[in-house]
Chains A and B, each alone.
Chain A
Amino acid sequence: MASAPAQWNNRPHTMEIQIHRGLSLDLAGGPQQVIDSAPRTTRAGFIGAEHRDIRPNLAIAVGDTIKLGDPLFADRRHPELCFTTPASGRILDIVWGSKRRLASIIIDSTATDSNPILLDDPGPLSALRADHIRSILMRSGLWSAVRARPFSIIPVAAARAPALFVSLIDTHPWSADPAVVIAGRERELAAGLTVLSNLTERLYVCKPPPLALEPIEASNVQIVDVSGPHPAGLPGTQIELLAPVRHDRAAWYVGYQDVMAIGELFTTGRLTHERVIAIAGPGLKRPRLLRTHVGASIDELLTEETSADSFVVAGSILSGRAVTPDTAFLGRYDTQLSVLPMRPVAESVGDEYPSAMLPLERFDAVWPLHSPPLVLLRALLSGDTETAEALGCLGLDEEDLALCAQVCPAGIDYGAALRGVLDDLRKQI
């Protein structure tokens, strides 16, 4: 790829975005940025809860034996959208949550995996047709790595998006440094980006300034140097500043580790579920990075790492999900585990009736977007969909409001309010 034609090279000038307002929480217990291989886990799980409004048509039953990459279920309304198993083994349990939504599928994965070959030589990556890529990704289950704003849902109807974002900068507290995770796999990343460039008018690759990329064989790639505190690394921030969404204009985004998996699929034909995660927090003996796979049992990953009972949040401490025994598996979008010792974690009191929002200047200090944060938050709390939409709530996700919740004197969960308004807007559209 060193001799790529000139038009393949990145645009002559890299864009630059400097975020000034935000908050990089300085928390003790951050991970050492070295990758260890995690031991194989004997159980694996598929997390259904993280895929919003998927209605599964199960292809398996408890007791079935399946192989890595086999379909677990397809979406009832979009049968081409396939969800595949993250590990080989026997189905132990299918757990349903509230409102008969799929919580998780638990797999006994003591059998060894072999990465299946799904693809013969696909030809030059820069010339792939969008619908071809889409059908391959849907069949492999990797399409679930693609999400769209508005609503943070897997795009099923459209084949192409006006804008597609890949963030190579992770500003979450206790997160893994993408440069460390990417090191040695730059080619897969570049290949994955090349594949994705066929799905969009413009592919935005947001990265920290020092990170160097392999050339991407596409003419519609915009490299953006992003610097600044959290939430600079969130796709919601980048989308709002570079290609804001509207109800009729979506933006897609894919996690960089999934981009590498897509790159590997399209260069070697192999489906992989490898995932490097950061494990961090004061509840751990040695916070660091672990190489494991999507679906790995969180309990097993952490048995040797903690000395006492822990409170585990899959994802960032700001916006992750607290794990329960049924959902203690790495989800498709999880890139870190935040582990706290059980004792300092207070049972939340007064949550039943949190006091009202108290506007303070500190909300403005952590909000890098153009819209006035307090007006937006108040609109969300009062269910004012019109104002919220006009101020750009369609481009946002729970994680984009996590800092507002963190600095809020009343500890209000603005993410939940946002989701309520987004659900209302979705019915209207």
Chain B
Amino acid sequence: MHTFARSGPYIRTRRDTRFVMLAFILATLPAAGIGLWSIGRLVLLTQAADPAEMLPAIDIWQLRALDALGISGNSSSVIAGSLLGVLLLAPALLATLAVSRAWAEIFARVRARPVDPGWALTAWLFVLLLPAGMPLHLVTLALSFGLVFGCYVFGGTGRYLVNPALLGSVFLLVAYPSQFVPGVWILGTAHATGWETVAVLGPDQSGVAWIGALFGTDIGAFGTSSAAACGLGALLLVVFGIGSWRIMLGALGGVVLVGLMFTDVPWYWQPVLGSFAFVAAFIATDPTTMALTATGRWLQGALFGALTILLRMLNPEHPEGTLFALLLATLVTPAFDHLVTRRQIQLRQKLHAHDTIAT
């Protein structure tokens, strides 16, 4: 738990910045694992040509590799689904890691500072927010935008204003909406997300199972299909003493409270659909952009949750309202901190004015 150093502070926590970054990656592993299986399963389900819908058969090297390995492309096989998911993720992951490390090295050289400790985590979170088959040049461009203008111009981890993975994803949404909207483009084919199906057809007619969406069949990005796994990751972060439970509970509270105001989609569907659970657990809790005051953290989380629902309901076509919601909530957070701090200062001055010493 502790380590000793020869210059002050002489005793330091072992849970240093590296540990924080590693813990975030560890906490996302359940969500990533289930997400990869889920996407692999979806591709296996839809790989055959569908003449009725005029869809050609999916022909990608990942499927051929699966065949070459002698693994049957059966969608009910967990191994086949997971392995296919890993193969689908691999190019994007390698590309984002390379891009992120490259920018970290460049800015470390230019500034004569150590390499930023957050480079791997940013790449990892960014890739988990991508749908499968996103063209690699777009991946590279968006992540570079997020890293340079979201992170390194401000001085890197601990100093930026908006999470760079979040900014990169929002960049993709804004600059290349056709790749995302409507639904999710997985390997060049549009899939309606669970949220869209439920919002358009209503939960009863949609054929989407609530339990399935909770545990991992929601259609979306690599990391977002299982709200339950994201919840487990959130719990891990809290146990590690790293994630802010105030932000997470605030976000859930915001989603549920505002969700109660709308009747088309029952409130309990809201937290399990789309990327809300993933963003609430791993992006909203980014320590760098976290509110500095405890009250500010509650407000930050609640605003993010409330905006998520509002954006979803105002624009049901848009499955990833969570990203915009978090972007807005993060930008408002310093104002929350300012108000809370001013209130604290006023209380303190009042205490002085009375010169109170309770007897």
Chain A interface residues (CB < 8 Å from chain B): 11, 15, 25, 27, 163, 173, 202, 222, 242-244, 246, 249, 311, 313, 317-318, 320, 322, 338, 340, 344-348, 350-351, 353, 355-362, 364-365, 370-372, 374-375, 378, 387, 390-392, 402, 405-411, 413, 415-416
A-B contact count (CB 8 A): 150
Are B344 and A355 closer than 8 Å at their CB atoms? Answer: no
**Pairwise interchain contact A372-B293, C-beta atoms closer than 8 A:** yes
Residues of A within 8 A of B140 (CB): none
Find out whether the CB atom of A360 lies under 8 angstroms from the CB atom of B241. yes
* B158 with A345: CB separation less than 8 A: no
Contact assessment for A27 and B292 in the assembled complex, using a CB-CB cutoff below 8 Å: no
Top 9 closest pairs, chain A to chain B, by CB: A356-B158, A374-B292, A405-B9, A348-B5, A372-B293, A390-B345, A409-B17, A345-B4, A411-B12
A387 to B162, CA, bound (A): 24
**A11-B359, A202-B357, A356-B159 known; A317+B11 contact, CB < 8 A:** yes
B15 x A371 contact (CB < 8 A): no
Enumerate chain A residues within 8 angstroms of B113, measured Cβ to Cβ: 353
User: Which of A359, A361, A392 has the most C-beta atoms of chain B within 10 angstroms of its own C-beta?
Assistant: A361
Question: What residues of B have a CB within 8 angstroms of the CB of A338 in the complex?
Answer: 10
Q: A246-B352, A356-B158 are in contact. Are A348 and B7 (CB under 8 A)?
A: yes
B11, A406: Cβ atoms closer than 8 Å: yes
Contact B5 A411 (CB under 8 A): yes
Q: Is the CB of B344 within 8 A of A411?
A: no
Q: Are A361 and B341 in contact (CB under 8 A)?
A: no
Evaluate contact between A411 and B9: CB separation under 8 angstroms. Answer: yes
Say whether B13 contacts A370, CB under 8 Å. Answer: no
Contact of A372 among B17, B19, B20, B340 (CB under 8 A): B340
Which chain B residues lie closer than 8 Å to A392 at the CB level? 348
Q: Which of A27, A348, A406 has the most chain B CB atoms inside 10 A of its CB?
A: A348
Which A residues are in CB contact (< 8 Å) with B242? 360
- Cβ A375 vs Cβ B359 within 8 A: no
Q: Given A358-B20, A392-B348 in contact, is the A372-B6 Cβ separation under 8 Å?
A: no
Chain B: minimal CB distance from A366 (Å): 11
Contacts of B202 in A (CB 8 A): none
Collect the chain A residues with CB atoms within 8 Å of residue B53's CB: none
16 additional contacts, CB 8 Å, given A356-B159, A362-B241, A411-B9? A15-B359, A242-B357, A313-B10, A317-B10, A345-B4, A346-B6, A348-B7, A351-B7, A353-B113, A356-B158, A358-B20, A361-B294, A370-B348, A374-B292, A407-B13, A408-B13
Closest chain B residue, CB of each to CB of A163: B357
Question: What A residues does B114 contact at CB under 8 A?
Answer: 350, 353, 355
Contact status of A358 and B352, CB under 8 A, knowing A375-B293, A378-B292, A408-B13: no
Interface residues of B in 156-171 (CB under 8 A from A): 156-159
**Is the CB of B16 closer than 8 A to any CB of chain A?**
yes
- Residue B322 CB within 8 A of the other chain: no
Establish whether residues A359 and B287, one from each chain, have CB atoms under 8 Å apart when the complex forms. Answer: yes
- Interface on B for A, CB 8 Å cutoff? 2-13, 15-17, 19-20, 113-114, 117, 155-159, 241-242, 244-246, 287-288, 290, 292-294, 297, 337, 340-341, 344-345, 347-348, 351-352, 355, 357-359
CB-CB nearest in chain B for A222: B359
Partner of B117, one of A345, A355, A402, A413: A355
Complex formed: what's the CA distance from A348 to B6 in Å? 6
Chain A residue nearest in CB terms to B245: A361
Which residue on chain A has the smallest CB distance to residue B352? A246
- Rounded to whole angstroms, the CA-CA distance of A157 and B306 in the bound complex is 57
CB-nearest residue of chain A to B14: A409
Instruction: State the CA gap A237–B355 with chains docked (Å).
Output: 17
A-B CB contact pairs (8 Å), 19 listed = A15-B359, A25-B11, A27-B2, A311-B6, A322-B7, A356-B157, A358-B287, A361-B244, A372-B294, A374-B292, A391-B341, A391-B344, A392-B348, A402-B9, A405-B8, A406-B12, A409-B13, A409-B15, A410-B16
In the complex, residue of chain B having the shortest beta-carbon distance to the beta carbon of A162: B355
CA distance A120 to B11 in the complex (A): 47
Max chain A Cβ within 10 angstroms of own Cβ: one of B156, B293, B357, B358: B357
CB distance from A343 to the nearest CB of B (A): 10
Contacts of A357 in B (CB 8 A): 158
Residues of B within 8 A of A243 (CB): 357
Complex CA–CA separation, A350 to B9 (angstroms): 13
Contacts of A246 in B (CB 8 A): 352
Interface core residue of B10, B246, B351 (most chain A CB under 10 Å):
B10
Which residue on A lies nearest to B296, using beta carbons? A372
How far, in angstroms, from A249 to B348 measured CA to CA in the complex? 14
Expressed in whole angstroms, the Cα–Cα distance for A222 and B357 within the complex equals 10
Residue of A11, A345, A359, A370 near B347 (CB, 8 A) is A370
**A347 near B15: Cβ-Cβ < 8 Å:** no
Nearest chain-A residue to B355 (Cβ)? A249
Contact between chains at A387 and B341 (CB < 8 Å): yes
Taken together as a complex, chains A and B put the C-alpha atoms of A270 and B356 apart, in Å, by 39
Chain A residue nearest in CB terms to B5: A348
Q: A246-B352, A350-B114 are in contact. Are A318 and B293 (CB under 8 A)?
A: no
A102 to B60, CA, bound (A): 76
Which of A249, A353, A359 is B292 in contact with, Cβ under 8 Å? A359
- Complex CA gap A311/B4 in Å reads 10
Residues of A within 8 A of B355 (CB): 249
A15: chain B residues at CB < 8 Å are: 358-359
A30 to B17, CA, bound (A): 29
Task: Decide yes or no: A358 and B9 within 8 Å by CB, A243-B357, A370-B347, A371-B344 being known contacts.
Answer: no
> What are the residues of chain B within 8 A of A361 when measuring CB–CB?
241, 244-246, 294, 297
Which of A222, A364, A413 is in CB contact (< 8 Å) with B8? Answer: A413
Cα distance A390–B352 in the bound complex, in angstroms: 11
A320, B245: Cα distance in complex, Å? 34
Give every chain B residue within 8 A of A348 (Cβ-Cβ): 5-7
**Which residue of the partner chain B has the closest CB to A402?**
B9
Please give, as numbers and ranges, the residues of chain B lying within 8 Å of A358 by CB-CB distance. 17, 20, 157-158, 287-288
A157-B92 Cα distance, complex, nearest whole Å: 69
Residue in A11, A202, A410 whose CB lies within 8 Å of B17: A410
A375 CA to B343 CA, complexed, in Å? 13
Q: When chains A and B are docked, how far (Å) is the Cα of A392 from the Cα of B352?
A: 11
- Bound together, the chains give a CA A346 to CA B9 distance in angstroms of 12
